Structure 1
């Protein structure tokens, strides 16, 4: 990604409403063991997401639980891990999402994350 680790870390811990969540739906402090909540909206439907931060290393690591309703993780608590590493003038962002209740949920997220990360790249590039 072309954004710095600092900007990416901030986006993942304090600014979900700038690139992922629906406006005015985010409750997020960005510190370990604090819960978060936000909604996404697609084709008139609301999709709540919630969890808590498990591990944070400034500008290097964000690890959080991730729960969505019927469509996403089907209520199962999964774990998202985002690792950030400087690579020249860019940042390598490695996202791992584990603990899905079934293959369907895993496949849906595997297809969705690239689009979500593309949106993050666009928003941060416009700064």
Structure 2
């Protein structure tokens, strides 16, 4: 079977990066699924997600904040089941300003659940990076809360 070539964005001229970590009381498989199949459970506006968790597969979803719609686009560039999700991430003004950035999510199981390590690289400027640096911890908290809510409904 022929392997597809994955085009990795050249971010060498955009050195603004960030990293955040959060330990969550879930198995890595639940978090992996949330990042590859269930964006509308915790991040995206319901019904807005077009996503197939496969390398080279493109995705689209929207978020809504204070009545303003924010489209997100990207593609999966690396996947290791229950261990790694790497994708490109493109948003407009107030986000990546149209720059194709790279989000890497590493999942490391611990005694208490899973440590999620998120790295976001290739921002076009410090302001864009700072906005995401403030937002990602809140988004990861929302992920944890939504997974807890779902578990409590079962």
Category of TM-score, reference length = shorter chain: over 0.9
SS in 2 for 1:3: coil
SS in 2 for 1:41: strand
**In the comparison of the two structures, how many residue pairs are matched?**
127
Q: Which residue of 2 aligns with 1:48?
A: 71
Question: Is residue 96 from structure 1 mapped to residue 142 from structure 2 by the alignment?
Answer: no
After the TM superposition, which segments of 4 or more aligned residues of structure 1 sit over 2 Å from their partners? none
Residues in 2 aligned to 1:3 and 1:39: alpha-carbon distance in whole angstroms: 26
Question: Is residue 86 from structure 1 mapped to residue 135 from structure 2 by the alignment?
Answer: no
TM-score by length of 1: 0.99
Query: Which structure has more RCO (C-alpha within 8 Å, separation ≥ 6)?
Result: 2
Which of 67, 70, 90 lines up with 2:90 in the alignment? Answer: 67
Question: Is residue 28 from structure 1 mapped to residue 51 from structure 2 by the alignment?
Answer: yes
Q: Which residue of 2 aligns with 1:107?
A: 130
Residues in 1 aligned to 2:93 and 2:66: alpha-carbon distance in whole angstroms: 16
Q: CA deviation at 1:59?
A: 0.2
Q: Which runs of 5+ in 1 are unaligned?
A: none
The alignment yields a C-alpha RMSD, in angstroms, of 0.5
Residues in 1 aligned to 2:99 and 2:86: alpha-carbon distance in whole angstroms: 16
Q: Which runs of 5+ in 2 are unaligned?
A: 1-23
Q: CA deviation at 1:89?
A: 3.3
TM-score by length of 2: 0.81
